[in-house]
Amino acid sequence: MSIFDDKDLCEELNYSANDEYQQYLKTTPSGIKFLPEKCPEVSELLLKSETGTFVKWIKKNHKSINLEIPPKSQKLSLNSNEYWMPLVFLASDMSLQVYLGIVASYIYDRTKGMLSNDKRGVHLKAVYNDQKLQVSKEFVYDGSIEGLENIIKKIDVNKLMEH
């Protein structure tokens, strides 16, 4: 297998920086919080360059969603043909399934005009609250747009929460 082979990766992990997320859950009952992240070989935290466009798109298309945006931070701009979505915290009213649906329709809008052989990938991380187990989990996806759409179709949040 070559390093350039296409492969979709989807993981659900226990979220390590739990205190920060629990604090968010206590103080914010609804919406999405966008966060800068650590990047290899860079000391400061950086926001993914897709953040601004994504935030504006949500404001335009889902006006009722409460959004928390970090103060100005530097941006990491990657020139691969992929959507590097920002790390997000999901409040208790925002299920993972709903968030993934929002990402999918954002990507659908952004990929209008794609040529028949164009391929684009998606990278996303979302931290959400597993209400049954009362633990915070991190959903990670790295793969194709089609792969993400399949996951949304197949995902059964209730089953995920049973783990």
Partner 1 sequence: MFKCSKIKDIYSQLKSGISKVLQSLEKNNIQSAEYEVEKLLQELEQQENKLSKGKDIELDEFFILKQQIFFFKNYVNLWNKIFIEEYGESWVELQNCLDKIRLIKKFLYDSSFAIIQFFESQLLELEQLYPYKIFMSTSLIVDYYKCSICGKDIDSNECEHIKGELYRGKIACGIANKIRNMNHIAMVKYPSDKRCVEIYDNRSEQFKLVRYLSDSLRSNKLNVISFHHLKFKKGNKKNKSIYKQGRNDLCQCGSGKKFKKCCQNKMYVVQEHVDIVGQPTHIKCILA
Site residues, partner 1 (CB under 8 A): 4, 6, 39-42, 46, 49, 51-53, 55-57, 60, 72, 74-82, 110, 112-121
To partner 1, the closest distance from the beta carbon of 31 in angstroms equals 16
To partner 1, the closest distance from the beta carbon of 133 in angstroms equals 36
Phi, psi of 157 (to 5 degrees): -55, -35
Instruction: Look up residue 41 and give its two tokens.
Output: 């070989």
To partner 1, the closest distance from the beta carbon of 52 in angstroms equals 2
Q: Measured from the CB atom, is 71 or 134 closer to partner 1?
A: 71
Q: Measured from the CB atom, is 35 or 161 closer to partner 1?
A: 35
Query: Are 9 and 145 spatial neighbours (Cβ–Cβ below 8 Å)?
Result: no
Instruction: Look up residue 159 and give its two tokens.
Output: 């089953």
To partner 1, the closest distance from the beta carbon of 74 in angstroms equals 6
Q: Measured from the CB atom, is 46 or 102 closer to partner 1?
A: 46
Half-sphere exposure for 91 (CA within 13 Å, toward CB): 15
Amino acid at 134: Q
Instruction: Look up residue 152 and give its two tokens.
Output: 């949304």
Partnered with residue 37 across adjacent β-strands are 46
Q: Measured from the CB atom, is 62 or 120 closer to partner 1?
A: 120
Instruction: Look up residue 144 and give its two tokens.
Output: 């194709």
